[in-house]
Amino acid sequence: MTPSPLHRILDFANRANPYPIYEELRKTPVHHEDDGPYVVSTYYEIRSLLHDPRISSDARNLASTAHDPLAEPAQDDGALPPSFLRLDPPEHDRLRRMTNRSFGPPHCPRRVDGMREELHGIVSGLIDGIGDPGRIDLVDQFSYPFPVTVICRLLGVPREDEARFHTWADTIAASLDPDPDADPAERGKGAHDARMQLGMYLAGLIEERRRNPGDDMLSELATAKSPDGTMTTMELLSTAALLLIAGHETTVNLVTNGMLTLLRNPDVLRRLREDPRLAVPVVEELLRFEPPVQLVPQRTTLADVEVRGVTIPKGASLWLVLASGNRDPQRFEDPDRFDPDRGDIQHLGLGSGIHSCFGAPLARLEAQLALSELARRLENPRLLEDPPPYRQNAVLRGPRHLHVACDGIRP
């Protein structure tokens, strides 16, 4: 029997190149398998559903839906309550607004741009420390430590605690991915324990920040008063955990996918080296071409919703395959070509609608700085392995290692 598209997406053997599966999937824009989620793969339909108030992100609605191999527990399991990623309005909007007061305009217009010099310093330090240019693991030596250091600085989490929360963050991120060989009960328990431990760790830190506030985001979130009131301790914990995990499990893949794509497209790499301003369209095209978040699972219909002649019934589970929408030929000309010169790159790589990526300005700045500096400083870089080995995760997709050699490191 031919495996279903759903199983082929999840099959690790297809991780290096899932795009032919998506192409096939788009022939049935709304695909449904027995007792499984409805999988939507075309650009306009995904975008419209991301803006549809009848589509819920609330983890508590999902708990009662049909079998979905990606469904998380509703998170009212004594660990952390759902973060605003997994809530609907008005709770979502209130928490996102309150968080944004410590992150972006109009209240905090300098937070991200004010980190530019610091980010540059972190990038330079990591490239200076590369050691043997004949064998670099770009993931371990650069793409992973960079966003982790940045999110720690932003939140005010001590960098030396990274080893502790790295394990929890990895376990939580892995729980998004249904490893067919893993025991679901075991994995659920692992994720619950990781959320519990991360919560306890953050509770200690927040307590400390309340006593001695700094200029970091955690201190501000813990002490801020806004027209929406103050966050409860539990809201603060799940918001901090969300930022910590979202802030480092995604950017690592954007930077690694970015370098891999540039090394496969040496003309663009050369142009970026000569003109770092090209980093802006390069990063946007990367978010279309190789998006670190391949699909958004865990959405539920609050009513019957008709999409391209298919009625998705109330209470159904939905997967929105962003990476497939980004390669939809109905929307993008020659979609399988990496082309930062395309005039219009309105990709779905950072989502769309009310849940669109909160950290987008930071993610963009990090990737622009990282890729333009790597292009400038690595002399004659080349891939030692293509395709590289991938992480297991089908949702947060990216290489586990990227082995690169170069002739030297420019100052």
Q: Are 316 and 301 in contact (CB under 8 A)?
A: yes
The reply on whether position 254 binds ligand HEM by CB under 6 A is: yes
Exposed/middle/buried for residue 410 (C-beta within 10 Å: 0-12, 13-18, 19+): exposed
Query: Pattern of binders to ligand HEM over 309-328, x per CB under 6 A?
Result: --------------------
Q: Is the dihedral of CA 217, 222, 223, 228 positive or negative?
A: positive
Alpha helices, DSSP H, located in 250-333: 251-264, 266-274, 279-289, 322-325
Q: With left for phi above 0 and alpha for psi between -120 and 50, is residue 35 left, alpha or beta?
A: left
Stretch that binds ligand HEM, among 71-79, 229-237, 291-299, 399-407 (CB under 6 A): 291-299
Binding segment (CB under 6 A) for ligand HEM, from list 12-20, 208-216, 267-275, 290-298: 290-298
Token pair listed for 222: 């813990």
Piece of the chain touching ligand HEM by CB under 6 A; list 20-28, 171-179, 184-192, 358-366: 358-366
Could you give the C-alpha distances from 341 to 190, 268, 281, 283, 367, in angstroms and in order? 44, 10, 7, 11, 18
Residue 355 in contact with ligand HEM, rule: CB under 6 A: yes
**Binding residue for ligand HEM, selected from 272, 296, 318, 406, defined by CB under 6 A:** 296
Q: What share of the chain is helix, strand, coil (3-state, %, to 5)?
A: 50, 10, 40
Residue among 171 and 326 whose Cβ is closer to ligand HEM: 326
- Compute the least distance from the CB of residue 380 to ligand HEM, in Å: 27
Decide whether 87 or 406 has the Cβ nearer to ligand HEM. Answer: 87
Q: Report the nearest approach of ligand HEM to the CB of residue 103 (Å).
A: 7
Q: Which of 26, 47, 96, 331 binds ligand HEM (CB under 6 A)?
A: 96
Residues 35-64 as x/- pattern, contact with ligand HEM by CB under 6 A: ----------------------x-------
Show the tokens assigned to 321: 């395959």
Cβ atoms of 214 and 191 closer than 8 Å: no
Q: Does 282 bind ligand HEM (CB under 6 A)?
A: no
The nearest distance, CB 298 to ligand HEM, in angstroms, is: 7
Q: Is 344 exposed, middle or buried (0-12, 13-18, 19+ CB in 10 A)?
A: exposed
Residue 391 is a binding residue for ligand HEM (CB under 6 A): no
**C-beta closer to ligand HEM: residue 373 or 406:** 373
**299 close to 48: Cβ distance less than 8 angstroms:** no
Q: Which amino acid is at 110?
A: R
- Nearest distance from C-beta of residue 29 to ligand HEM, angstroms: 19
State the residues that interact with ligand HEM by CB under 6 A: 57, 84-85, 96, 242-243, 246-247, 250-251, 254, 292-293, 296, 349-351, 355, 357-359, 362-363
